[in-house]
Amino acid sequence: MSEQELIYFEILKKEVVKTLQNSHSVSSDIEKWKGQEIIYLQDDLSDKVNGRISEKWFYTHIKSNSGKLPRIDMLNILSEYAGYQNWNDLKSKFPQPNSKKKSKSITKKAMISILLLLLLVAGKFIADNFFPSDNVYKFCFIDSDLKTPIKDSPIWIVWINENESSMVSKCDSMGCFQFTTEKEKIRFIVRSPYYKPDTITRVIYDKKIREEQVQLKTNDYALMIHMFSKSEVKNWKKRRAQLDQMLADNAKIYQVYEDGKTGMELYNKKEFINKLTMPLKSLKNIEITETIYTGDEISILRFMQNEE
């Protein structure tokens, strides 16, 4: 594979960014995208060109800089999404890049990035060990029913910043996260597959309490669907009625694959209920990754299927 092909891929990534920015506020650096920004791209690809990519595919081919191009069919899909007929059409629209000049530029950029990273690590070590901050805060999340730490369900923190795109953090294995801030007020949304989302607002400047526990309520429907997929059921009619009550009539249900090839598959309400209740084990042992409610019904559901 030539360096010129990789340079064209960098151009394609910039064109994808421009296209998504027409409908969503996302960073201009696609390699910094994560969480919600990746979901925006997945949804926009599905709506505009019926294309599907998984989060694993995005990290493998967009964020890793592995030096390898994706398959040609994915290059064609992304090119079409960016407004071109296909991958060859995109390449024809740009002059032949100077690979040597680009290579030197990339090398210089990499050296500067490494130097800045080393300085950042050294600065943080000095700050943490010799100048400890008084503005370090910690939030831990517990089950509102059991009053125990949430360990088995990942918890994501979506920061709400004025005049800035949202940033996403992940809690540790004990359901806690720690941060440093000089702000007087913070706001963030808590998301977890099997717990209901909650928006937290705190005035924390000069606050004496530096650690806080927050209770999260169980996302009963998501938990029930997960258990349905793992349990043996004889009364399928009752099960179908329960699922029908949980899901909105126009619900969109996405199965996300981690193989980096398949992308996503979309089900409507009827298809999903059929697959989950047919005694054929066609859709079993699923893990819910996201649920969005409209009223008391699930309107958007994302899940992955664990292989036995």
Structure tokens at 68: 């390898």
Tell whether 9 and 93 lie within a shared domain: yes
Structure tokens at 133: 């901050």
123 lies in some domain: no
* DSSP classification of residue 218: B
> What's the number of domains the chain is made of?
3
Quick check: 228 and 221 in contact, CB under 8 A? no
Q: Note the residue count of the chain.
A: 308
Instruction: List residues bridging with 267 in a β-sheet.
Output: 253
Tell whether 174 and 252 lie within a shared domain: no
Q: What is the pLDDT along the chain (308 residues), one digit of tens a residue?
A: 577 888 888 898 999 999 998 888 888 888 888 888 888 888 888 888 888 888 888 888 887 766 788 889 889 999 999 999 999 998 888 876 554 554 555 577 777 878 888 888 777 666 555 554 556 788 999 998 888 998 878 898 988 887 777 788 889 888 998 888 777 788 899 988 889 888 988 877 555 557 889 999 988 888 888 888 777 666 778 888 989 999 999 999 998 887 656 678 899 999 888 888 776 555 667 888 888 989 989 999 988 877 65
Note the pTM of the prediction, 2 decimals. Answer: 0.49
- At residue 47, the pLDDT reads 87
Structure tokens at 205: 């400047």
Tell whether 198 and 255 lie within a shared domain: no
296 lies in some domain: yes
Task: Kindly give the residue spans of alpha helices, DSSP state H, lying in the chain.
Answer: 3-21, 36-49, 55-58, 72-81, 87-92, 99-130, 220-230, 236-246, 269-277
* DSSP classification of residue 63: I
d(CA 301, CA 247): 9
130 lies in some domain: no
Residue 141: give the domain boundaries: 136-216
202 lies in some domain: yes
d(CA 4, CA 91): 10
d(CA 285, CA 72): 33
Tell whether 22 and 80 lie within a shared domain: yes
Cβ count within 10 A of residue 190: 20
118 lies in some domain: no
- At residue 98, the pLDDT reads 54
Q: Which of 100, 210, 202, 218 is nearest to 150 (CA)?
A: 218
54 lies in some domain: yes
In our burial notation (b when 16+ CB lie closer than 10 A, e otherwise), range 51-85 reads bbbbbebbeebbeeeeeebbeeebbbbbbbbbebe
What CATH number is given to the structural domain containing 284?
A: 3.10.450
d(CA 268, CA 116): 48
What CATH number is given to the structural domain containing 179?
A: 2.60.40.1120
- At residue 132, the pLDDT reads 47
- At residue 203, the pLDDT reads 79
Instruction: List strands edge to edge, sheet with 195-203.
Output: 167-170, 156-159, 185-192, 195-203
